[in-house]
Amino acid sequence: MGIPAINSQIITPKLHESIIKENQISEGNWKLSADAIIIGSGAGGAVAAAELSRSGWKVILIEEGSYFTPAQFNSDEFLSQARLYRDAGFIVSEEQTISILQGKTVGGSTTVNWQTSLYPPDYVTNEWEKRFGWKNSSREAMDEYVTEVHERLGVHEVPENLINANNDVLRIGGNKLGLHPQVLKNNNRGCIGTGHCGLGCPINAKQSAFLTWIPDALHHGATVISNMRAVKINDGKVKTVFAEFTPDAYEKAPNVHLQSLELTAPVVIVSAGAIEGPALLQRSGIGNKWVGKNLKVHPTSTIFGKFATEINMFKGPPQSIVVKDGHNQDGTGYGYWLEAAPYRPTLASSLIPFYGKTQFDVMKDYTNYNAGIVLVRDGADGEANGSVEWSLGRRKVYFELTPTDGLNMLKGLKTLAEITVAAGATELIFPFTRFSEPVKVNAQTNFDWILKEGFKPGQLSVGSAHPHGSIQSADVESKGAVDLNLELFGHKNIFVMDASIYPTGLSVNPQITTMSMVLRAARALSKQKEDRSKV
């Protein structure tokens, strides 16, 4: 599948010189106006841009990251992480308690995610309705929008011939233990299992936003500008968004390029993600006390298992099997589930809690290791212990596992260890920092000890690829930052449309839910153009 021809209209640094000449721009500051300014091009911003422009809105979408085509995607992990991920793939909390993966490129995290396509179970959406007034958010009620998203992205179950050895560990071990492994759905057209998803799909099989919603928006007249970071939003009847040029990490900026943007519109939609979105609002002096609070991360931890045969965890679709048996502990709606992770060597070595010769010895046998992950729905104790703050000129992230979330993580690690051994692993590498070497295991090994392990900062390695919920939506301002229409309380015509809006832990990989929720909200907003554009 080729790149949509209309993507050539994305304004990248290569087009800056001609833009400056055509528009007689002085001092590198381009002033533009529109009906709506959208900040961010991921699962939220791209969908909003497509929907509003389709309804006749003049839309300008800006993206901090660069625009890449598959010809620029490659297996160089250092280069790819620096170019495609925020903070080169390692957003680290202030107290070193978690490392977060998040995309920073046209298409956002949809360009680098692992394709997993899920919607939360009813006990999650029921909690949204009961505690925060969210109505009609169940899978059944959202079917119109979820189905539309599935069709646009080519969502389907992973075919049997593409389920790789890494994922099959969960299926083989889970079945032996009487659990219920399930085949996952992915979003692609023509996947052949190159395994490059996290570095950008080199054959355009994964239906990322830059292949779907972004071209849709361009086709309907939207202006899309890459390499521009939103610095501040000025509120008023007409909003002003100030943005500054952000060069690519590995490409020299043209000698002549735009320095900044000054964008005006009656409507602004913040789709900058659960990390940068609250930071932007805070430094703009916009929003209530909930902005940046109750950050959820879907905390994750890993067990590596060594097998006698090659696993090659990086080959094939990254995630094709899930084990959900532990997801609803004691009927609370909180717990864990298990997936696989296709860690490439750089990321794998960073997650192995050893040093020196021991780490090198493990990496020599890298192809024989699988990687299973535990994902915990955070917030079992009422709120997640995470936040984002803009302070002293810098964005800061804070996170710590709460007691029940930590216990659910340990329960998940115990189950994952049992599954991995049941599938044939002979050694396990645990994420507990007290270990200095792999642990030899066999069918008789008992893992009850895991439930007594510590999970306080420094005791357990925790990561995330699903930050969400830091600008949560609710029916009243005392419970959230945005209302049920995703409009900021106290700020007319400023909306948040991305994964920041969830009032509790989402429980699943977020792209399908986010696209569906934003599609509904943007479609409703699109019908209000006449009213919203009055100044």
For residue range 265-295, list pLDDT tens digits in order. Answer: 999 999 999 999 999 999 999 999 999 999 9
Domain boundaries, the chain: 5-154+198-294+466-533, 159-188+300-377+402-461
Name the amino acid, one letter, at 274. A
CATH number for the domain running over 159-188+300-377+402-461: 3.30.410
Identify the sign of the CA torsion 422, 424, 425, 426: positive
Return the closest-CA partner of residue 58 out of 216, 215, 209, 220: 220
Kindly tell me the number of DSSP H helices and DSSP E strands found in the chain: 13, 23
Count Cβ atoms within 10 A of the Cβ of residue 21 and give its class: 0-12 exposed, 13-18 middle, 19 or more buried: exposed
* Residue-wise DSSP of 399-414: E---HHHHHHHHHHHH
Per residue in 15-38, pLDDT (tens digit) is: 999 999 999 998 999 999 999 999
- Output the DSSP codes for 211-233: GTHHHHHHHTT-EEE-SEEEEEE
Distance CA 271, CA 39 (A): 5
Give residue 251's pLDDT: 85
pLDDT for 379 equals 96
Q: How far is CA 525 from CA 125, 269, 456, in A?
A: 22, 11, 44
Q: Do domains 5-154+198-294+466-533 and 159-188+300-377+402-461 have the same CATH topology?
A: no
pLDDT category of residue 249 using cuts at 50, 70 and 90: confident
Name the 3-class secondary structure at 265: strand
- Please state whether the predicted TM-score (pTM) of the whole model is above 0.85: yes
pLDDT of residue 232: 98
Residues whose CB is less than 8 angstroms from the CB of residue 436 and which lie 6 or more positions away in sequence, other chains included? 354, 358
pLDDT for res 428: 98
5-154+198-294+466-533 CATH, one of 3.30.300.210, 3.40.50.300, 3.50.50.60, 3.30.930.10:
3.50.50.60
For the cut 80, the answer to whether the pLDDT of residue 535 exceeds it is: no
* β pairing state of 439-440 and 427-429: antiparallel
Confidence of residue 451 (pLDDT cuts 50, 70, 90): very high
pLDDT exceeds cutoff 90 at 489:
yes
- Statement: residue 344 has pLDDT above 70: yes
Instruction: Map tokens 């993966």 to a residue.
Output: 101
